[in-house]
Structure 1
Amino acid sequence: MKGTIRLLGRPSIEYDGGPVRPPRGRKSWALLGYVLLAERPPARKRLAELLFADAEDPLGALRWTLAELRRALGVREVLSGDPVMVSLTGVMAVDVLQVLSEPDPEHLLAVEGELLEGVELDSCPDFESWLMVERQRVASAVEARLREAAVGLVAAGRARDAIPFASKAVASNPLEQGNHELLVRSLAVSGDRPAALRQIAVCEDVLRRELGVEASAALRQASAVDRGPSLEVVGSRASASSAFEAGRAAVAAGVVESGLECLRRAVSEAARCGDTELQGRALVALGGALVHAIRGRDEEGAITLQEAILVAERAGDRATVVAAYRELGFVEVQAGRRATAETWLAKAANLAETDEENAAILGVRGMNSSDLADYPAALRQLEESVDLAARCGDPRQQAWSLSILGRAHLLRGEYSQASAAIAHSLELVRQQRWVAFMPWPQALQAELDLYAGRVGAAAEGFEQAWALGCQVNDPCWEGISARGLGLLAAERGDYQGVVHWLDQAARRASREPDRYQWVHAHVLDTAAGTAIDQGDEARARPLVAQLAALAARCDMRELVVRAQLHLGRLGDPQAAQSARRMAAGIDNPRLTNLLEA
């Protein structure tokens, strides 16, 4: 007889589909949830401090609660030792762990309620901080898997089957336009255009009412079923190959819409003549262009990339499958969906054979690790990516990975190492005339100039990055450079300028549904810190609340810690302790100095 521990919604223990008598003690569920979800087995002393600090005998209260849990579970060998080990494999299933790890997505549709619903321990603020973050993390992971299932079904030609997953994603996070867009596309492709149009109206009203923003054009574009290229399809390999090369060239030259039309034509031509290898390559090029060359189209790009995988697998085209896996990983990294990002990137790494492929995969993996605040992994991955890119003669990949490597050193306060990486990145970007990427390393270099006291150089760098970011219409570049101009205003003592530029940065960085969430959170962190520096509590509090929620949902651990530090500066007596606990395992000297200040 195998039981199930249910931690999503009201917690319970079930055997043979029916509930058993729950454990006594209001902290039992909190203890069980913490032990099951902790990254490593927790020490008894830590658990006693976390949950039973107010008891006369904290360790004794812990022993009693563990015994009560063993009784309720009906398993004597679990929750024993120091650190406390769980050992439930083959004995009990845990719903939240199933949701996060099982490949079959069907069980996602049965998920109801938040993690440990109804469990509130006001007397245990450290646990409450952990639970807030963990609820956001689990909710985000469930949402990511729902989206992944829906995208895969649409790509496989099963749009009607995708509708329940897309609907559930909307219900789980109705303020995320991308979820509505995925549902609209699923409805439209399945043939229910009236329902798709109704969903557009629902999304527009929700975003307008709750966020005070208008939906982007991508929402309505999702309701238009792609009918292929506008010109008649010839169906020859020569025509398909010509359209493919023309499309790639046009996208590289910045003529994006024409490039997309050519690539769509290449897909149709290759499908018509039965050249699945060329069809897969054209689909990857099209999906990559939708992700990188035009804003707000990541949803469509992800579906196209999953379709490319199906086609390329039939053709036995390993390289195209690797490229599609990597691009899907990049989409998930930008969105802050860590688990699904790592799933795609691990698949890419397992199939990769060439230096060029591994350099690109390691670059995206390093970006994900850096956003997660796993700096040792990020530095290792990015340095290897740079070396491989140099060895195989891929200067753009080398420049890209150097910029992310420089950012990691900058965040760690390692300014000399950051300067070397960013200067090299800028040199390569200029050699390649890579105008569309230039604002990113420019803004990073300007920040280094500012910290070194070169205010004039910093001003010039931020202004150039801002102007070019606006010219290429990239929300990420606009957001990061506007943040820099806010830092510059703070250096000059111009608080009105600080507010103006950091408000601009927050709006620009978040204006598209497929925004880079780390940049948005980085801007919120800076805005909150500068507001607190000026004693502007009314401005700071909502910014800190936004930062805390976004960082938790996107598993940006250092920014979760920084949100707690901001709360401490705003007078929360427990926040500093929570920040120190949450920072355990984050190897960042700059953060350590903040925690010790």
Structure 2
Amino acid sequence: MLSVRLIGQPRLVRDGLTLQGPRGAKCWALLARIVRSPDLISRQQLVNELFSEADDPMAALRWSLAELRRRLGMPEALLGNPIVAGLEDGTELDVELVAGGNLPTPVPRGEFLEGIDVQASPAFDTWLLVERQRVAGDVIGALRKEALRAMSAHDHPRALTLASAMVDTAPLEEGPHVLLVKAFIAAGDRISAHRHVAATEAAFMRELGAPPSPALSAAARPPVTPNTAGVSSIATAESLLTAGRAAVGAGAAGSGIATLRGAVAAAEGAGDSLLSATCLFELGSALVHAARGYDDEGAIVLDAAREAATSAGEQEIAAKALAELAYVDVLAARRECAVEGLSLAWEVANPYPRVRAAVAAYDAVHLADWGRLDASLERFDEAIDLCRETGSVKRGIWAMSHAARAAYLSGWLAAAERWAKEAQRQAQSEGWTAIRPWPEAWHAHVRLAKGEAPAAVRADIESSYALARQLEDPCWEGVTAKVMGLTFVAEGDTAAAMPWLEHAGTACRRINDSYKWLEAEVQVTDAEVALKVGDGERARAHAELALQVAARGDMPLLLARAETVLDALRGKVPQPA
């Protein structure tokens, strides 16, 4: 069997032996361009993208195609106009495997077409930038899913291999490092865990100028089992569970999580699988929802909760854990993992309507991020109905807040305003202050779109921004800062708008587990405003950032907006040195 490896250094492998590859980087670029395109590509388009500088562009394309056929050993491949890939049955493409959530052997390391740097057209350069992000997203998603499974199965060598491959693929992303440290701790190798934390902190300071979040060093701390003389482990775990829940509910996330960690350790020592599953779920949920920057550790804990609950026959806890795991993937824009996780959570939650309400709400957000707005709005209707039927008031407020965003993006301003207002009204009635900035921000978007006075909108959204700062919530802060900027844009005062948009982008990236859709949305908005005022350098920088995030997270609407900015800049402003 022939295996075509396009992740990492490109190579051809047949039956475990590496074959001589095609001559020239452009051959690899050409093969990747053909096999990764969802549509057939004409010879003229390939010439325009890759061979326009050759003395005889069509001859250069024909030679490259012939060279590929020779090295692949497939005389009937890569023929026609438009060109049909026509690879023989059984040919393995690593990029296709990871796109489907599977991993080739050995596991992939490095970026798509690593080391391939061709002098080509701006169109090909943009395509390669986008594809590298898409493939990296697929690789990280597949590796992460399998690493969590390996850790649940206590297969420590495989977990370490997969986590280290994640680090190789995304060395400057914190999440892979957290998983690798947790894998070291699970394997009992505390020395390697602490060494990796130190090395990562040094690398982040050197490359990024800022250290990783406290989540990385926290991952290296083993759980401490509380010990109260004369008190059973079960009683200890139950009391700590109660105290931890209360602290998290009161907003004391740090102390609450520390207490829940103790509850988990005590429950594991008690040998009570139901109690252990409950403690694990509460800790995992708190790490995801109450803490900032701890989604990766939260996912590990939630997966352990799912396993413990399944073993104990507690399907409701398992369903809740699956729902929260899917939500983590939604936030991180791991699209295929989210699809798989949401589908499984929906199935397992069938007997539990309250859990289904949460899954439906998460799915609706996922569909909106994915650019499938009509399907998203239908799913929001279902989620909000489920919340109403089951008395899930806070979940309903959360769903309406996000439905307002989806309706706004669809251009349905009346529906967006109705949902935003109702979410605000119910949040006030429930005394749920922490949710306020999100619906208020999208209500402000609607008001600006309807032509309300920007100064009046700004006067109202200022308190939302101040609350977001007090809550130390980077998403809430980012979206409210963005609206503040847009009020100045609406007044034509771009000098006042740009610092707000810059601050919005900084806030969204402040933690490693930020909401990727919002990060891309803020970046592309900044780029569009900069383009409008003629700041080409700023427009390009922010459009390229948005392009990378949107490509990796499969966000077609945001990707199209970023590409539109870059297309407008081509040939109109000097290329950066």
TM-score normalised according to structure 1 size: 0.84
Distance in 2 (CA, whole Å) between partners of 1:290 and 1:34 is: 41
1:303 alignment counterpart: 300
Distance in 2 (CA, whole Å) between partners of 1:227 and 1:345 is: 33
Deviation at 1:314, TM superposition (A): 0.9
DSSP-derived class of the 2:386 partner: helix
Worse-superposed segment, 65-74 or 514-523: 65-74
The answer as to whether partners of 1:442 and 1:465 remain within 8 angstroms in 2 is yes
Q: Are 1:16 and 2:15 matched, yes or no?
A: yes
Worse-superposed segment, 292-301 or 451-460: 451-460
Report the AA paired with residue 326 of structure 1: A
DSSP-derived class of the 1:4 partner: strand
1:328 alignment counterpart: 325
Distance in 2 (CA, whole Å) between partners of 1:564 and 1:345 is: 30
> Residues 60, 290 of structure 1: CA spacing in aligned structure 2 closer, same or farther, 3 A cutoff?
same
> Residues 448, 202 of structure 1: CA spacing in aligned structure 2 closer, same or farther, 3 A cutoff?
same
2:46 alignment counterpart: 51
1:371 alignment counterpart: 369
> Residues 378, 202 of structure 1: CA spacing in aligned structure 2 closer, same or farther, 3 A cutoff?
same
Report the AA paired with residue 358 of structure 1: R
Distance in 1 (CA, whole Å) between partners of 2:561 and 2:227 is: 51
Distance in 2 (CA, whole Å) between partners of 1:357 and 1:532 is: 45
Distance in 1 (CA, whole Å) between partners of 2:82 and 2:43 is: 12
Distance in 1 (CA, whole Å) between partners of 2:369 and 2:101 is: 25
Worse-superposed segment, 368-377 or 507-516: 368-377
Deviation at 1:178, TM superposition (A): 2.4
1:526 alignment counterpart: 525
1:577 alignment counterpart: none
Q: Are 1:185 and 2:172 matched, yes or no?
A: no
Worse-superposed segment, 199-208 or 150-159: 150-159
> Residues 19, 47 of structure 1: CA spacing in aligned structure 2 closer, same or farther, 3 A cutoff?
farther
The answer as to whether partners of 1:329 and 1:345 remain within 8 angstroms in 2 is yes
Worse-superposed segment, 28-37 or 460-469: 28-37
Distance in 2 (CA, whole Å) between partners of 1:300 and 1:24 is: 45
Report the AA paired with residue 184 of structure 1: V
> Residues 274, 512 of structure 1: CA spacing in aligned structure 2 closer, same or farther, 3 A cutoff?
same
Distance in 1 (CA, whole Å) between partners of 2:111 and 2:103 is: 20
User: Over residues 134-192 of structure 1, what are the superposed CA-to-partner deviations in whole Å (9 max), with x where a residue is unaligned?
Assistant: 11111122123333333444454455653333222222222212222333333344444
Deviation at 1:38, TM superposition (A): 3.7
Distance in 2 (CA, whole Å) between partners of 1:6 and 1:314 is: 39
Deviation at 1:231, TM superposition (A): 5.2
The answer as to whether partners of 1:105 and 1:145 remain within 8 angstroms in 2 is no
The answer as to whether partners of 1:154 and 1:162 remain within 8 angstroms in 2 is yes
DSSP-derived class of the 1:98 partner: helix
Distance in 2 (CA, whole Å) between partners of 1:183 and 1:513 is: 15
Worse-superposed segment, 482-491 or 370-379: 370-379
TM-score normalised according to structure 2 size: 0.87
Distance in 1 (CA, whole Å) between partners of 2:86 and 2:311 is: 41
Report the AA paired with residue 183 of structure 1: L
Deviation at 1:400, TM superposition (A): 1.6
Q: Are 1:422 and 2:420 matched, yes or no?
A: yes
2:241 alignment counterpart: 244
Q: Are 1:500 and 2:506 matched, yes or no?
A: no
Q: Are 1:290 and 2:287 matched, yes or no?
A: yes
Distance in 2 (CA, whole Å) between partners of 1:226 and 1:106 is: 34
2:563 alignment counterpart: 564
Deviation at 1:428, TM superposition (A): 2.4
Distance in 2 (CA, whole Å) between partners of 1:143 and 1:263 is: 29
> Residues 150, 156 of structure 1: CA spacing in aligned structure 2 closer, same or farther, 3 A cutoff?
same
1:537 alignment counterpart: 536
> Residues 232, 264 of structure 1: CA spacing in aligned structure 2 closer, same or farther, 3 A cutoff?
farther
Report the AA paired with residue 135 of structure 2: V
Worse-superposed segment, 5-14 or 164-173: 5-14
Q: Percent identity?
A: 37
> Residues 266, 192 of structure 1: CA spacing in aligned structure 2 closer, same or farther, 3 A cutoff?
closer
Worse-superposed segment, 505-514 or 65-74: 65-74
Deviation at 1:528, TM superposition (A): 1.6
Deviation at 1:573, TM superposition (A): 7.5
Deviation at 1:478, TM superposition (A): 0.8
> Residues 232, 51 of structure 1: CA spacing in aligned structure 2 closer, same or farther, 3 A cutoff?
farther
Aligned counterpart for 2:360 among listed residues 341, 346, 362? 362
Q: Are 1:3 and 2:12 matched, yes or no?
A: no
Distance in 2 (CA, whole Å) between partners of 1:215 and 1:34 is: 36
2:225 alignment counterpart: 228
Deviation at 1:338, TM superposition (A): 1.6
2:458 alignment counterpart: 459
2:138 alignment counterpart: 141
User: Over residues 72-115 of structure 1, what are the superposed CA-to-partner deviations in whole Å (9 max), with x where a residue is unaligned?
Assistant: 6556887789997767685222222223436567632x545523
Distance in 1 (CA, whole Å) between partners of 2:168 and 2:21 is: 30
1:169 alignment counterpart: 166
The answer as to whether partners of 1:363 and 1:381 remain within 8 angstroms in 2 is yes
> Residues 392, 88 of structure 1: CA spacing in aligned structure 2 closer, same or farther, 3 A cutoff?
farther
Deviation at 1:571, TM superposition (A): 3.4
DSSP-derived class of the 2:92 partner: strand
Q: How many residues align?
A: 567
DSSP-derived class of the 2:210 partner: coil
User: Over residues 480-508 of structure 1, what are the superposed CA-to-partner deviations in whole Å (9 max), with x where a residue is unaligned?
Assistant: 11111111222234334223212221222
RMSD value, Cα: 3.4
The answer as to whether partners of 2:103 and 2:143 remain within 8 angstroms in 1 is no
The answer as to whether partners of 1:5 and 1:14 remain within 8 angstroms in 2 is yes
Deviation at 1:463, TM superposition (A): 0.8
Deviation at 1:416, TM superposition (A): 1.7
- Structure 2 gaps of 5+ residues are none
- Structure 1 gaps of 5+ residues are 575-597
Aligned counterpart for 1:312 among listed residues 306, 309, 312? 309
Deviation at 1:391, TM superposition (A): 2.2
The answer as to whether partners of 2:2 and 2:15 remain within 8 angstroms in 1 is yes
Q: Are 1:548 and 2:547 matched, yes or no?
A: yes
DSSP-derived class of the 1:174 partner: coil
> Residues 153, 14 of structure 1: CA spacing in aligned structure 2 closer, same or farther, 3 A cutoff?
closer
Distance in 2 (CA, whole Å) between partners of 1:246 and 1:170 is: 36
The answer as to whether partners of 1:47 and 1:62 remain within 8 angstroms in 2 is no
Distance in 2 (CA, whole Å) between partners of 1:409 and 1:498 is: 25
Distance in 1 (CA, whole Å) between partners of 2:381 and 2:172 is: 37
Distance in 1 (CA, whole Å) between partners of 2:153 and 2:300 is: 9
User: Over residues 562-583 of structure 1, what are the superposed CA-to-partner deviations in whole Å (9 max), with x where a residue is unaligned?
Assistant: 1111113323489xxxxxxxxx
> Residues 231, 519 of structure 1: CA spacing in aligned structure 2 closer, same or farther, 3 A cutoff?
farther
Aligned counterpart for 1:390 among listed residues 384, 388, 391? 388
Deviation at 1:477, TM superposition (A): 0.5
User: Over residues 331-360 of structure 1, what are the superposed CA-to-partner deviations in whole Å (9 max), with x where a residue is unaligned?
Assistant: 122122222222222221221213322221
> Residues 177, 82 of structure 1: CA spacing in aligned structure 2 closer, same or farther, 3 A cutoff?
same
Deviation at 1:283, TM superposition (A): 0.9
Report the AA paired with residue 47 of structure 1: S
Deviation at 1:396, TM superposition (A): 1.7
Distance in 2 (CA, whole Å) between partners of 1:24 and 1:208 is: 39
